[in-house]
Amino acid sequence: NEFTFKWIKDVFLPSEDIPGFKSLLCSLQTRLEFFAHECFASMRISEMFDIIIDFPDSMPALEDLRECLSKTHQLPSLIQSLSQAFKKRLLHPGANTTD
């Protein structure tokens, strides 16, 4: 986070004297942070069934997902994805249950 935004500031440093540059940079930073959280949450949501299987070893992934969900409000997407995974992977006659 700090590295990326430091790089952006260094690249655009000569533009600091342009009116409204700081507000533009702040807006860009906010959008990039949201985009990063949204992409990471989407990735974790797609892996959620496997994360549950690996619990409690997957606790750090769940904590990361909780932080991202609080910033992106993707909880409905998580619920839908997990519901589909349950329907696809659970309660099938003849499924191996040794694990």
For the stretch 49-88, pLDDT in tens is 899 989 999 999 999 999 999 999 999 999 999 999 888 8
Mean pLDDT of 29-56: 91
Q: How confident is the model at residue 44 (pLDDT cuts 50, 70, 90)?
A: very high
* Both tokens assigned to 55: 């619990």
For residue 11, give Cα distances in angstroms to 5, 33, 79. Answer: 10, 18, 40
Cα–Cα dist 99/96, whole Å:
8
pLDDT of residue 3: 67
Average pLDDT score over the chain = 82
Cα–Cα dist 16/97, whole Å:
62
Other Cβ atoms less than 10 A from the Cβ of 64: the count is 15
